[in-house]
Chain A
Amino acid sequence: MSLTLQPEEPLIDVRDLHVHFANQPAATLKGISFELRRGECLALVGESGSGKSVTSCTLAGLTGAGAQVQASRLAFAGQDLRRFDERTWRSVRGAQIGFVMQDALGSLDPLRPVGKEIAEPLQLHTTLNRAERQARVLELLRAVGVPEPELRARQYPYQLSGGLRQRALIASAIACNPRLLIADEPTTALDATVQAQVMSLLESLRSERTAMLIVSHDLAVVSRLANRVAVMHNGVIVEQGSVEQVLHDPQHPYTQYLLQAGRAVHFQRKPATARPVLSAVAASSGVASPPLLQVRNLSKAFKGPDGQRRTVVNGVSLQLQRGKTLGIVGESGSGKTTLTRMILGLETPDSGDIQIKGQPWLQLSDAQRRELRRSIQVVFQDPLSSFDPRYTVQRVLFEALQVAGHLRGDWLPRARELLGLVRLDAALLGRRPIELSGGQRQRIAIARALAAGPQILVCDEPVSALDVSVQAQILELLDDLKQRLGLACLFISHDLGVINHVSDDVLVMKDGVAVEAGSVREVFDHPQHPYTQALLDAIPHLESGRRMAFEFLKLAI
């Protein structure tokens, strides 16, 4: 099929697009319009449920049978997409439109070698023979910066790191030189340094001939890559314009709100105001008091699938004072999760020593340990899977209160009190986790952790799965709780912005070793270890160079 395009015609022309799914009461997209020309990169930004992924799926004809698509114009390269039948769609997908779908880690078939996945569009859309396809696969892998392409092409996804998987996925999307490349959350779920690499890769793929559509919840990602931004909220584009204009002179209140929330969470080198109240509490508790949690020389090795023992945590020491927050930062595989599990008593260390409130955690009997366990509680990344789906909120909290030794008559008033503490309505007691929003679930998880009246709260990536505005709310809640209850907090995250926001001290982990530790200001402002420097450099900045120039310009005027 030949698609010819007049020079002035946009590649994508969408006017008044409505999409309504049969199983949903309201329309998901309520009349959105945008254009995309060759050489351009448009970013769709919004929080979950805003309709940005549905928009990209509509452009690839992948909304499924249950969706009703209406528009006054919906064109790709001058062709009316509404008139495409399934066969025509198949000839366009993968050939004219390359799609890098959400979920970088799950989008490659785990049972097929990576090379076969990349060759799939070539097999479908070109007449290349087997040897030519193989050559093109290697060429593509090289183009997306995968080292040792011959080896990698034969490997399975589980043998590749997240970054390499995302590169392979991008390679499969650009295999047939599509005119439009759609990338849905291309860097979500990837480590910071890998994120930066994938961003540069996408940047290098921009060309005069092709157009790019980036879908993201992350404004910082967008500001680097796109020239135009469309902000989506509840199925409507609330604001659309150049990156400079939308990011730095937002007109719509929602855009302003989104930017503000992003700034609160994202990393800033020199925050104007530190967390004043919290540090006051910490200071009043005194430096001389013994640490609540003391970890010395903790090590743990696991046996790998090849039978070799791999040291996951190697001689890590740390201490946590009352009322303070220690951030542990590191990328996936750095050993931060194993370290946390050992501190929680879920994993037995090979060597080293853990003391909680001066008691030897590892040497205690089970009964003593249960007693002490109340003072150390945990909030996990994914609250949904840490709740029994059949339990109501009330039952979740009652269970925690029972374990904490509260009497039955005490449960209901205490549960209401806990909900108040995490700023939720008591009416939620009858709901089940699945009926709650991500932010509400995380609040319930925090309430459950607080039921035992802990002195130490371990937060394992508590906001990583949440939208940026919700992230800001949860972080603020945690700050507030630490202050009011005098909690000490062990905060684990891969996100330096979040760590910077909540921590007094920070511990940087890499390959099981604590490479750098100290106060947040010390470590983030004057990183000593090259790895910490690399991590800091990898953060996409909302306040980009363009922004600085812009500010400067404004001042000059």
Chain B
Amino acid sequence: MNRAWLVLRRLLSGIGVLWGAATLTFLAINLSAGDPALAILGGPESSPSAELIAQVRAEYGLDQPLLVQYGQYLGRLAQADLGESYRLRVPVSQVIGGQLGATLQLSLAAAALALLLSVLVAVLTANRAPWVRALASGSELVLSSAPSFVIGLVLLLVFSFGWHVLPPSGSSGWRALILPSLALALPLAAVLTQVLRQELESTLEQPFIAMARARGLSETGVRLKHALRHALVPLVTLSGFVFASLLGGAVVVELLFARQGIGRLMLEAAINKDMPMLLGITLLAAAIYVVVNFLVDLINHWVDPRSNAV
């Protein structure tokens, strides 16, 4: 089939996802209790006059019917205008842009760490002695069921307050990145290792593995050159889950380690009912999701040439 058409279809479906995300978030925020006008005026405690509230409502178009607000919102989105934050009174895109770098840094570091750890542990423990496997799967069970903030707290207690080797908070320098990315990566790595090891073990049963051994390939060679690639296929499929867990985990971890970033921004926006900000972050997440999925398909084709590209 025509490659250009495939790319176009992919693009259209990406726009569809973004539109869906915008609509759902818009609905969710408007259906939840609370008055955005109050939020704009400084939250429920500020008790502004009724006139002031009416004025703000008119100014932000909040007195319009919901459908009209929705239409106006989509219209602005089409012009790449995410609107202005109710609380900070600056364009949302500017705020997000300022925080995006820190979160990307954290997520990418955590993703790389998780991948590295899981591949290493899975390759080393697959089909090994029972006690090795028991030890590995035991720790995986603990790590994958413990929430990120518990792991983060333990890491803080040990490395920052116990041994004083790593800073407990802050956003500057690679040393400040280690603990937060570990806290984010460990639960993820635990889940990925379980999947990887299971897949490795079933691949090691395959006839082509026996054949590779018959050619004189060593056990390590068999694992790295043949089995690992097969084990990576389901991992790539899991990347949607990986992405979600990184973003969700970032909120907690950024707070715990007092880091800047989108997670913290999202929490503040939610507490303050800062609608443009929330919508902006949701759209960003959706956009990342679309891009990640596209990349996943490309990677999938590279790992497994039998699957279709684009």
Which residues of chain A have a CB within 8 Å of any CB of chain B? 60, 62, 89-95, 99, 101-103, 106-112, 120-121, 124-125, 156, 158, 169, 172-173, 305, 307
Contacts and interface: CB of A to CB of B under 8 A. Distances in A.
A111 B206 contact: no
Nearest to B218: A90
Interface in B189-243: 206-208, 210-218, 221, 225-226, 229-230
B305 A156 contact: yes
Contacts of B206: 106
Contact of B1 (A91, A106, A112, A307): A307
Contacts of B225: 120
B215 A93 contact: yes
A107 B212 CA distance: 9
B211 A110 contact: no
Given A110-B306, A111-B230, A111-B304, A120 B207 contact: no
A160 B64 CA distance: 65
Contact of B211 (A89, A91, A169): A169
Contact of A111 (B212, B215, B217, B229): B229
Contacts of B296: none
B306 A93 contact: no
A241 to B, nearest CB: 29
B303 interface: yes
Given A93-B215, A94-B217, A124-B215, 4 more contacts: A89-B216, A99-B215, A111-B230, A120-B225
A172 B221 CA distance: 17
B226 to A, nearest CB: 5
B226 A112 contact: yes
B214 A62 contact: yes
A34 B217 CA distance: 28
A305 B211 contact: no
Contacts of B230: 111
A307 B3 CA distance: 12
Given A107-B208, A109-B226, A62 B217 contact: no
A102 B217 contact: no
Nearest to B214: A99
B49 interface: no
B79 interface: no
7 contacts: A90-B217, A95-B216, A101-B210, A106-B206, A120-B225, A124-B216, A158-B306
A173 B306 CA distance: 25
A107 B215 contact: no
A91 B217 CA distance: 9
A109 B221 CA distance: 14
B308 interface: yes
Nearest to A155: B305
B217 A120 contact: yes
A381 B1 CA distance: 36
A172 B215 contact: yes
A400 to B, nearest CB: 32
Nearest to A175: B215
A108 B304 CA distance: 14
A111 B208 CA distance: 11
Contacts of B208: 106-110
Contact of A305 (B210, B212, B216, B308): B308
B209 to A, nearest CB: 8
A91 B216 contact: yes
A557 to B, nearest CB: 47
Nearest to B232: A111
Contacts of B217: 90, 94, 120, 124
Contact of B214 (A101, A103, A125, A305): A101
A67 to B, nearest CB: 14
A103 B208 CA distance: 9
A106 B1 CA distance: 30
A108 B211 CA distance: 8
Contact of A107 (B207, B303, B304, B305): B207
Nearest to A169: B211
Contacts of A172: 211, 215
Chain B CB within 10 Å, residue with most, of A62, A90, A305: A90
A359 to B, nearest CB: 41
Contact of A94 (B207, B214, B229): B214
A161 to B, nearest CB: 16
Contacts of B218: 90
Given A102-B207, A107-B211, A109-B208, A94 B216 contact: yes
Contacts of B210: 62, 101, 107
A111 B214 contact: no
Nearest to A97: B214
Given A106-B207, A111-B304, A158-B306, A90 B214 contact: no
